[in-house]
Amino acid sequence: MKVLVARSGDEYFACQAVCPHQDVALCEGLFDGTVLTCHQHLWQWDIRSGAPRGLAEAPLECYTVEVDGDSIYIASPGALYVGELFSGIAEKTLAEINALARREEFTQGGTLYNVGDPAEDFFVLESGRVEFLIGRDDRTSPAGFMLRKGEVFGWAALLDSQPSRIAKATCLEHSTLLRINGREALKVLESDPASGYVVMRRLSSLIARYLASSGAR
């Protein structure tokens, strides 16, 4: 998914990168610091809210932006619907977990975590490919399972019994992921036991699949 990020004063705002009228890149339009104008038919929007101005007949979809030092994180509402771990849980609970998600991009060869690192966050793969290696140094071997788009990994962050990583995760190509803090997600699930039960059942299936694939090596 492409996103347009604009700076207005000291703040950053993010919205859809393509005009809602036709397939035109909004980065080629005009921006006066508040109002974004598509150069094709001059639809305009307030970048702070996505609200239409003047001729525009549809709003822009906007995303929450979080700035942390030199990094800008953009949250995409509904992104976790693609994660099999959370499908079908209560909307309010999903929205609260979504609010915890930060989107990150990694270049090919980028390491998400190493064996022994603290297991604090789990991830949803939005695009790209991630490889898992077990063992250390030059005695590593593939962990034996592949990820599909939308799949959750790093789920040790959701387990009290597994405080550190047991595999190394590396991006095989440019990849986009959602990072979610496990402890914060568990707090949300504890406030909605019905959804928490669903997620924990699915998590146990994921672990069983992992054990089966590891045993098959």
Cβ proximity to ligand FES: between 1 and 55 the closer is: 55
Cβ proximity to ligand FES: between 24 and 35 the closer is: 24
Cβ proximity to ligand FES: between 24 and 186 the closer is: 24
CB of 45 to ligand FES, least distance (A): 10
CB of 41 to ligand FES, least distance (A): 3
CB of 24 to ligand FES, least distance (A): 4
Between the two ends of the chain, the Cα-to-Cα distance in Å is 35
CB atoms within 10 A of CB 198: 19
DSSP code string of 168-179: EEEESSSEEEEE
The DSSP bridge partners found for residue 37 are 30, 44
DSSP state of 11: E
Phi, psi of 188 (to 5 degrees): -65, -45
Phi, psi of 58 (to 5 degrees): -150, 150
Return the closest-CA partner of residue 152 out of 101, 212, 215: 101
CB of 26 to ligand FES, least distance (A): 7
Which residues in this chain contact ligand FES in the complex, by CB under 6 A?
Answer: 19, 21-22, 24, 38, 40-41, 43
Cβ proximity to ligand FES: between 54 and 135 the closer is: 54
Rg over alpha carbons for the chain, rounded to the nearest Å, is 20
Cβ proximity to ligand FES: between 37 and 170 the closer is: 37
CB of 36 to ligand FES, least distance (A): 10
DSSP state of 117: S
